[in-house]
Structure 1
Amino acid sequence: MTALSVNVNKIAVLRNSRGGSEPDVVRAARTCLYAGAHGITVHPRPDQRHIRADDVFALAELTRENRVELNLEGNPFAPPREGYPGFLTLCEQARPAQATLVPDSDGQITSDHGFDFTQDAERLRPLIAELKSLGCRVSLFVDAGCPQLERAAEIGADRVEIYTGPFAEALANGDADAELHRCARTAVEARALGLGVNAGHDLSQTNLEEFLEAVPQVLEVSIGHALISEALYAGLQHTVQNYLAILESVR
């Protein structure tokens, strides 16, 4: 069965909008794990607009206690600054099970494209080696139809995460066939290269089953924005369980 890693960034967005400690990111993550989620994902950004370094450390402790995976996402090229020690330093201190490298800039609202291996591969190579020396599995964020996908394997990545935003948008507009084909072809190519396949971005209860039926053998999906939005109406525990039921049905 595909693993569900719940991204709790949006809990931190709500907390930070008011200040203080509520809603509690760790309590929300614990609720997701109680409901059966297989792991927790966070994407701390240098501007600290949601998840902060102290959240990362608290979630690392929670996931270790519960023997589930912490997936830490971030741009390894972003320089450290006050309150943000840098992605590799965070990984060194928190020791997540998985480090997902994403080429987002400071000004991006959310991740919206994968790596360009023509220009990024050799810069990534030593960073991947360093992360693997810390015991992290390394996943690289890639576009469906990514050219030079073989470079991801050559530079030492363990997995790729297919960016599913274009698929979700195409499905919402009524015709996702081309995007699904692109995602499926990328997943097949990745597996042939010895890479595991993850997926994420704009996946929801509306589109998850269709995606997984077209793109089999996806090891993990990380879902945050849609899941937290749906949980506002249905409750967090119930919403996580709904996602798990979809994953079980596809298996």
Structure 2
Amino acid sequence: MTKLSVNINKIATLRNSRGGDLPNVVQFAKDIQRFGAEGVTIHPRPDERHIRYKDAYDLKPEVYTEYNIEGNPIPKFVDMVLEIKPTQVTLVPDAVDAITSNAGWDTITHKSFLTEVISEFKSNGIRTSIFLDPDLKQVEGAKKTGTDRIELYTEAYAHQYRLGNNDAIEPYKKAADFANSLQLGINAGHDLSLDNIKFFKQNITGLLEVSIGHALISESLYLGIENVVQIYLHRLK
């Protein structure tokens, strides 16, 4: 069964827009777990424009499912993850000025750096995942870093699926099959939605986890958060 981890960055964005504490991200994390979500994802960035580093610490005692912290492993991020010890850390090569994640790692060029960081996280009992384009060479490179999992960057699939191009799933199928042969766990995320999640799940063998934020929160404005979480869980079964 594929686990649903809800990215709550957009809740923090809404909170920050008024400068107060409404909506409260910790309460929201507690609620989505109560509604059935099997994980909580956050992605703090250096400018703290949505999730703040303090949020990451405040959430730790309240996430009783899986706690996934995403981000670029700059020293401040690494130190935070080592202190919190979440279930999983997902390494994302964000530029400082990136609006959102827009590329996977070059695991060949950055092999030494990734290997060192991953080794430190794993020695502290933290599962590791690398954000990755569906490229077989990059999957092979990821295996050589010692990571436990990869997270397939699904924006290209989501865009093409919306245009009616179901063949956009093919690179992801091949990458997943190759990852399975290398005994790498498979996660996925970015622009997955109620419209495209079922088809993706049906075609990706061994899909362990999806991390969904922007679409899920947007859909919840119309359908309600508890209802949307239940629909995702149904489509992932």
Range into which the TM-score falls when normalised by the shorter chain: over 0.9
> Equivalent of 2:166, from 157, 176, 179?
176
| 1:175-234 Cα shifts (integer Å, max 9, x gaps) | 131x20100000011111110000000000000001111112200000000000011111
Q: Distance in 1 between matches of 2:138 and 2:192?
A: 25
The equivalent residue for 1:124 is: 114
1:95 aligns with 85
- Whichever residue aligns with residue 15 of structure 1, its letter is R
Matched AA of 1:56? A
Alignment of 1:214 with 2:211, yes or no, is: no
Q: Give me the whole-angstrom Cα distance separating, in 1, the residues matched to 2:136 and 2:220.
A: 33
> Which position in structure 2 is the counterpart of 1:33?
33
**What's the TM-score once normalised by structure 2's chain length?**
0.97
Tell whether the 8 Å contact from 1:31 to 1:236 is kept in structure 2 after alignment.
no
Q: Which residue of 2 aligns with 1:245?
A: 234
Which letter does structure 1 place at the counterpart of 2:107?
F
Give runs of aligned pairs for residues 24-173 of structure 1, distance below 5 A. Answer: 24-63=24-63, 66=64, 68-76=65-73, 78-79=74-75, 86-173=76-163
Counterpart residue type for residue 196 of structure 2: N
2:189 to 181, 200, 205: 200
Match of 2:225 among 222, 229, 236: 236
Cα distance between partner residues in 2 of 1:176 and 1:106: 33
Hey, what's the Cα distance between the residues in 1 that align with 2:196 and 2:83?
36
SS in 1 for 2:68: strand
Find the aligned partners of 1:26 and 1:237 in 2 and give their Cα distance: 16
**Contact 1:43 1:51 (C-alpha < 8 Å) held by counterparts:** yes
Cα gap change, 1:134 to 1:57, in 2 (>3 Å): same
Equivalent position SS for 1:183 = helix
- Determine what percentage of the aligned residue pairs are the same residue: 47
* SS at structure 2 position matched to 1:18: coil
Structure 1 residues 148, 228: closer, same or farther in 2, change over 3 A?
closer
2:36–2:229 Cα contact (<8 Å) kept:
yes
State the aligned residue count.
Answer: 237
Q: Distance in 1 between matches of 2:197 and 2:228?
A: 13
Partner residue, 1:83: none
Q: CA deviation at 1:96?
A: 0.5
TM-score of the pair, normalised by structure 1: 0.92
Residues 25 and 55, structure 1, Cα contact 8 Å, conserved in 2: yes
- Residues in 1 aligned to 2:103 and 2:166: alpha-carbon distance in whole angstroms: 18
CA–CA separation in structure 1 for the residues paired with 2:119 and 2:205: 29
Offset of 1:146 from its aligned partner? 4.3
SS of 2:137's equivalent in the other structure is: coil
Tell me the SS of whatever aligns to 2:187: strand
**In the alignment, what sits opposite 2:15?**
15
Structure 2 Cα separation of the partners of residues 187 and 74 of structure 1: 22
CA distance in 2, matches of 1:12, 1:148: 32
In 1, Cα distance between equivalents of 2:136 and 2:95 = 19
1:116-170 superposed Cα distances (whole Å, 9 cap, x missing partner): 1221111111100011112110000000124242221121100000000000000
